[in-house]
Structure 1
Amino acid sequence: MLRQYELVERVKSYAPDADEQMLNRAYVYTVQKHGTQKRASGDPYFSHPVEVAGLMTELKLDQDTIITALLHDTVEDTLATIEEVERLFGPAVARMVDGVTKLSKIEAMSEKERAAENLRKFLLAMSEDLRVLLVKLADRLHNMRTLHYIKSEDKRRRIAKETMEIYAPLAERVGMYEYMREMQLLAFQQLEPEAYATITGRLAQIRNQDNGQVDAIALAISQALAEQGMQVKVWGREKHPYSIWRKMAERHVHFDQITDIMAFRVLVDKVEDCYRTIGVLHTTWQALPGKFKDYISTPKANGYQSLHTTLIYENSMRMEVQTRTWDMHQTNEYGLAAHWSYKQGGVLPDGQVGWLRDLLEVVDASHDAEELLENTKMAIYQDRIFAFTPKGKLFQLPKGATPIDFAYTVHSDLGSMAVGAKINGRHMPLRTPLGNGDVVEIIKSRNASPQLSWLGFCVTGKARAAIRRAVRQKERAEQAAIGRQLFEDIITRLPSKVGKKATAEAVKRLGLKSEDELMAAIGTAKLDDRQVMEALVPGSAKHLPEAENWLKQERAISIKGLTAGMAFQLASCCHPVPGDRIVGVRKPGVGVEVHSIACHALLDGEDSDWLDLSWGETTTGAVGRLRCVLYNRPGTLAEVTGIFAANMANITQLQNTSRDGLFGTYEVDLEVSDLAHLTRIVSSLRASDAVAQADRL
């Protein structure tokens, strides 16, 4: 553990103007506050914040960050308060300490909710001051270094899993590869102990049998470059055990089948020397096709820059070589921290600012704990491709991203208005996975809106969060629209007229926040008519029989302008279409299910809350279901589908339900505009020589 004077000397070595008295005060404060507390290792608890502060000095971070590292656990684990921290060490330190502090004392939350709320608070604090992230990553790294002291295996695995899923990807996302690699290694050791032991054992075996081969290859690379008049530094290393294990899992191969166990790094002075180095290497050894990657001209989103290539050395051995400048190397290993060092003053690259902005949108749009954790993981995982706008602007996306993901990455409004896409000049479905280098043009319409079905194929956290938020808002608005129509019907049965004041009082009595929330609660049957009447005019529903749970309506409620799947669902048992006499069944918290008045399913719902509904002038999304018995001869199915096409009906589902020697029976779902449209189709089918029988189901 660093002693007090050693910590101060470290800070003064790169920041001579640092306030020595303030640093000493912070050191003493954390020692006093943590007092006799012990860690699982038996060490005094204050050794942990002191070591975290030491990690921050290795990155040459400013005085406030060092003090934050010293104090980061005091508010959570001692009697210290944010107000006291602010009074003693200033508002900047207090703000950062509050950002790192967990919300673990919220007892009412489940473990997943607690984890999500901790993450939400941490990400919001990080957006205000990125040094919060640096302290948190150092905190997690030191905790992982001492994880083996925790006796409970379940707790060790839970912490390791959280590190692997959240903090290691976060470290990678901000370019802190040194932290990422060590976190992954320590988490891998806990989560896959057998695989860890096997791979590290094999690596040790290779190391013992190496006979200096790695040094010999590094020397050969240096000599080849020196012959061209280049001064470089070269060193070799084994690939990361977790990286090897992941490659084995992805490729479904054994350790012996991994050919590029060794990797070499070449450091040069200038950018042009990077490309010159690759030229020399490719003319000296055979390059593996498709393995050259240029992250200098197109850096990763976290600012990483380097040239990667894979060469075939003697005995067909493959070796990966990374070439970069010294400045790139510093940024690549420490990423965000390199921009927050004492000398740099926290100037961030544009890519990091954009990523953080996107992450904040994800936090803001996530509805619950599960969504936040899912969307955040999607936003920080790093395996990425590059795609371009028609004007040549470059965007980085996760592998498997679609035009919808691309549209939301460009701008949230573009994603919301997307109706189609061109990929490399060709019209393609919105669900098409994008490839590296694709040029993507989004076709938009101001009348368009996000579709729930998009969640089935989009992969970015930003897109999923935005789609879910838009769908929820639309669903709530439509539920409120139905609720308002019901509300208007309810107030006609009250003994006296009610105005805005009575409605506002009813909202308060029911414990709701707004009139819109009241209408949505009525629309989703969370409140029945009796409850609403009593809230508006106390005592007005006393004359109603207790068994009666719905009131006869004065007029049918129109579902015109509402979207199937939002405020209402068209029942799959009877497939009602515009023109059918319909009734709605309200289920609490779900919305309205629309049935044909003749539907047999209504016989089982005598106690349900029914609504008298009408279609209004136009309603979209109606699907009619037909049963067609066709003669079993070539061309009959083609003739039938031709009838559907001639009648402008789109097939959504076609299923062969039975087949014998003479006939084949099919059930087909068709998108139709109304009952008259469906009736014309049935008439056309019955007139065809290919059809033995056609009926609506």
Structure 2
Amino acid sequence: MLRQYELVERVLSYEPEADEAMLNRAYVYTVQKHGSQKRASGDPYFSHPVEVAGLMTELKLDQETIVTALLHDTVEDTLATTEEIEKLFGADVAKLVDGVTKLSKIEAMGENERAAENLRKFLLAMSEDIRVLLVKLADRLHNMRTLHYIKSGDKRRRIARETMDIYAPLAERVGMYEYMREMQLLAFEQLEPEAYATITGRLAQIRSSEGGQVDAIALSIKQALAEGGLKVEVSGREKHPYSIWKKMAERHVSFEQITDIMAFRVLTDDVDDCYRALGVLHRTWQMIPGRFKDYISTPKSNGYRSLHTALIFENSMRMEVQIRTHEMHHTNEFGLAAHWAYKSQERPDGQVGWLRDLIEIVDASHDADELLEHTKMAIYQDRIFAFTPKGQLFQLPKGSTPVDFAYAVHSDLGSLAVGAKINGRHMPLRTELANGDVVEIIKSKNASPQLSWLGFVVTGKARAAIRRAVRQKEKQEVAAIGRELFDEIAGRLPSKIGKKAIKDAVQRLGLSSEDELMRAIGTAKIDDRQVMEALVPGSASSLPEPENWPKQERAISIKGLTPGVAFQLGECCHPVPGDRIVGIRHPGQGVEVHAIDCLSLASGVDADWLDLSWGERTTGAIGRVRVVLYNRPGTLAEATGIFAGNRANIINLQNTSRDELFGTYDIDLEVSDLAHLTRIVSALRASDAVAQADRI
């Protein structure tokens, strides 16, 4: 553990004007506050914040960040308060400490809820000051280094999984590859102990049996480049054990089939020498097609810059070579922390965009599972490059579609997309984009995100935005349905209902607003009796209980027809009592009854039109609904249970489409009237088994 004077000397070595007194106060404060607290290892607890501060000095971060690292656990684990820290160390430090502090009150939540809530607070704090992320990553790295002291295997695996899913990807996104690799290795050891032991053991065998082969190859590369007139540094290493395991899992191959276990790094003085070195290596050894990547001309979103190539060395041995300048190497290893300019508040290029996307995802996500799913998508996927017609470059995950691209350009563009041109050709929105594609989004002001898009989009931002839009649309539709049902319920009351009666009803039902009342009616959370009783107390006492409702009849009568004239309800629109209807009479045929807004009537029909209305007998009509169910066991049974609970007979059920995510069904139901059908649609939309429900 760093001693007090050692930590201060480290900071002063790169920031001579640092406030030495504040650094000393912070060190003493954390020691006093944590007092006799112990870590699982048996060490004093304050050794942890001191080591985190030491990691921050290795990155040469400013004094406020060092002080934050020293204090980051005091508010959660001691009697210290944010107000006290602000008084002693200033508002900026207090704000940073609050951003890094773990939430102590979320232990009662489920695992996903706990992780999501932690992540939500973390991302929001990080959006205000990226130093929150840097301290948090160092905090997690040190905790991972001491994870083996925790006795509970389940707790170790939970922490390792959270590290692998959230913190290692975040380290990668800000270019802190040293942190990312060490986190992954330590988490891999806990999550896949057998695979970890096997791979590290095999690497040790290779190291001992092949002696200094890595050094020998590195020397060969250096000599070849020297003969080409280049002065460079060359180093070699075996691939990261987790990287090897991931490649084995993705390619379904054994360790022996992994041919590029060794990787070499070439460091040059300037960018021109990088490309000259690449030319020398490609002339000296055969390159492997498809493995060359130029991250100098098109850097990654985290600022990573380097040339990557793969070569075939002697005896058909494959090796990966990375070529970069010394400056690029320093930035690549420590990313955002390597060039963060706090005093001038200059933010590195590329940092703001992906962070803004993460904050949008936080705002759009509906629950813990969605937040974790969308965030993982946003921070940890291989990338491709695509361009707008004006040449603006966007980095996207592999497998992205024009919809993902549209949301990457702007959320509004994604919501208005109706089509796309890829390299000048009209292509479906589900088309997978390739590197270098030029994408033009065709939009319409009347368009809206479609639920079916969730079947092919891959970015967290797109998925979160689509789900939010679909929920908002359903909320509006439910409110409109609720308003119609409310009007029908109010019409049965003995007197006209005014605004005051509605306001009083909202209060009696314990709701917050009239809109919430309409949504509650639309989603069948409250029934007719409750609404009537809330509007006019005592008015529902004369209504029959649901279980005593009379049985449905099957007869339907139509007013406006000559007695004895045959009629048929239109198969195209399936009108039910309550719809406005019109009759179409063709010569020598009966009368077809259509809803007034039937699409088949929109272009005009060469026949006599009859003004019709429903008669007294209006039961037993057939209504058709389209239901999109989540593709998981029990959802169809839950939907049919809703029909039974609403006393609707299923006349016909047809599965029209099915994929990995959803199943779509067209269902004909025997209903009494429009209100009956509307209640069923509302109940379907309120079900967790149903993704979408609409009357056809």
TM-score by length of 1: 0.80
Query: 3-state SS of the aligned residue for 1:350?
Result: coil
1:478 equivalent to 2:443? Answer no
Aligned to 1:61: 61
Code of the residue aligned with 1:367 in structure 2: it is H
Counterpart Cα distance in 2 of 1:261 and 1:28: 47
Aligned to 1:597: 621
Query: 3-state SS of the aligned residue for 1:436?
Result: coil
1:369 equivalent to 2:393? Answer no
Q: Deviations over 1:137-181 (max 9, x none)?
A: 001100000000011111111111111111111111111100000
Give the deviation of 1:493 after TM superposition: 3.4
Counterpart Cα distance in 2 of 1:48 and 1:304: 30
Code of the residue aligned with 2:392 in structure 1: it is K
Counterpart Cα distance in 1 of 2:102 and 2:546: 50
Identify if the C-alpha distance between structure 1 residues 119 and 378 changes in structure 2 by more than 3 Å, giving closer, same or farther. same
CA RMSD in angstroms, aligned pairs only: 3.0
Identify if the C-alpha distance between structure 1 residues 345 and 38 changes in structure 2 by more than 3 Å, giving closer, same or farther. farther
Query: 3-state SS of the aligned residue for 2:104?
Result: coil
Aligned to 1:408: 407
Identify if the C-alpha distance between structure 1 residues 38 and 485 changes in structure 2 by more than 3 Å, giving closer, same or farther. same
Counterpart Cα distance in 2 of 1:575 and 1:42: 79
Aligned to 1:173: 173
Query: 3-state SS of the aligned residue for 1:267?
Result: strand
Give the deviation of 1:546 after TM superposition: 4.4
1:205 equivalent to 2:205? Answer yes
1:463 equivalent to 2:458? Answer no
Name stretches of at least 5 consecutive residues in structure 2 with no aligned partner.
Answer: 551-568, 580-618, 626-638, 659-664, 668-696
Identify if the C-alpha distance between structure 1 residues 505 and 309 changes in structure 2 by more than 3 Å, giving closer, same or farther. same
Give the deviation of 1:38 after TM superposition: 0.8
Code of the residue aligned with 1:392 in structure 2: it is G
Aligned to 2:683: none
Counterpart Cα distance in 2 of 1:604 and 1:20: 71
Code of the residue aligned with 2:350 in structure 1: it is G
Counterpart Cα distance in 2 of 1:156 and 1:599: 55
Identify if the C-alpha distance between structure 1 residues 257 and 422 changes in structure 2 by more than 3 Å, giving closer, same or farther. same
Counterpart Cα distance in 2 of 1:549 and 1:263: 78
Aligned to 1:527: 526
The answer to whether the 8 Å contact 1:529/1:549 transfers is no
Aligned to 1:580: 575
Give the deviation of 1:239 after TM superposition: 0.8
Counterpart Cα distance in 2 of 1:485 and 1:75: 53
**Counterpart mapping for 1:469-618 below 5 A:** 469-547=468-546, 577-581=572-576, 597-598=621-622, 608-609=645-646
| Equivalent pairs, count | 591
The answer to whether the 8 Å contact 2:150/2:156 transfers is yes
Give the deviation of 1:334 after TM superposition: 0.7
1:357 equivalent to 2:356? Answer yes
**Counterpart mapping for 1:1-150 below 5 A:** 1-106=1-106, 109-150=109-150
Give the deviation of 1:55 after TM superposition: 0.5
The answer to whether the 8 Å contact 1:529/1:550 transfers is no
Identify if the C-alpha distance between structure 1 residues 241 and 106 changes in structure 2 by more than 3 Å, giving closer, same or farther. closer
Identify if the C-alpha distance between structure 1 residues 141 and 108 changes in structure 2 by more than 3 Å, giving closer, same or farther. closer
Counterpart Cα distance in 1 of 2:124 and 2:641: 50
Counterpart Cα distance in 1 of 2:388 and 2:401: 14
Identify if the C-alpha distance between structure 1 residues 607 and 192 changes in structure 2 by more than 3 Å, giving closer, same or farther. closer
Counterpart Cα distance in 1 of 2:482 and 2:124: 36
The answer to whether the 8 Å contact 1:55/1:138 transfers is yes
Q: Deviations over 1:357-399 (max 9, x none)?
A: 1111100000111111110111101311111122222111111
Give the deviation of 1:607 after TM superposition: 7.8
Counterpart Cα distance in 1 of 2:500 and 2:104: 42
Identify if the C-alpha distance between structure 1 residues 537 and 16 changes in structure 2 by more than 3 Å, giving closer, same or farther. farther
Aligned to 1:421: 420
Counterpart Cα distance in 2 of 1:400 and 1:319: 27
Counterpart Cα distance in 1 of 2:409 and 2:303: 19
Identify if the C-alpha distance between structure 1 residues 653 and 607 changes in structure 2 by more than 3 Å, giving closer, same or farther. closer
1:236 equivalent to 2:236? Answer yes
Query: 3-state SS of the aligned residue for 2:64?
Result: helix
Percent identity over the alignment is 78
Query: 3-state SS of the aligned residue for 1:421?
Result: strand
Identify if the C-alpha distance between structure 1 residues 444 and 35 changes in structure 2 by more than 3 Å, giving closer, same or farther. same
Give the deviation of 1:509 after TM superposition: 3.1
Give the deviation of 1:244 after TM superposition: 0.8
1:219 equivalent to 2:214? Answer no
Name stretches of at least 5 consecutive residues in structure 1 with no aligned partner.
Answer: 552-573, 585-594, 612-623, 627-650, 655-667, 671-697
The answer to whether the 8 Å contact 2:286/2:312 transfers is yes
Aligned to 1:571: none
Identify if the C-alpha distance between structure 1 residues 306 and 582 changes in structure 2 by more than 3 Å, giving closer, same or farther. farther
Code of the residue aligned with 1:578 in structure 2: it is C
Q: Deviations over 1:543-590 (max 9, x none)?
A: 434447999xxxxxxxxxxxxxxxxxxxxxx99741433689xxxxxx
Q: Deviations over 1:7-53 (max 9, x none)?
A: 11111111111111111111111111111111110111111111111
Q: Deviations over 1:457-499 (max 9, x none)?
A: 1110000000000000000000000101111222333444443
Identify if the C-alpha distance between structure 1 residues 374 and 669 changes in structure 2 by more than 3 Å, giving closer, same or farther. closer
Q: Deviations over 1:670-694 (max 9, x none)?
A: 9xxxxxxxxxxxxxxxxxxxxxxxx
Code of the residue aligned with 1:22 in structure 2: it is M
Aligned to 1:185: 185
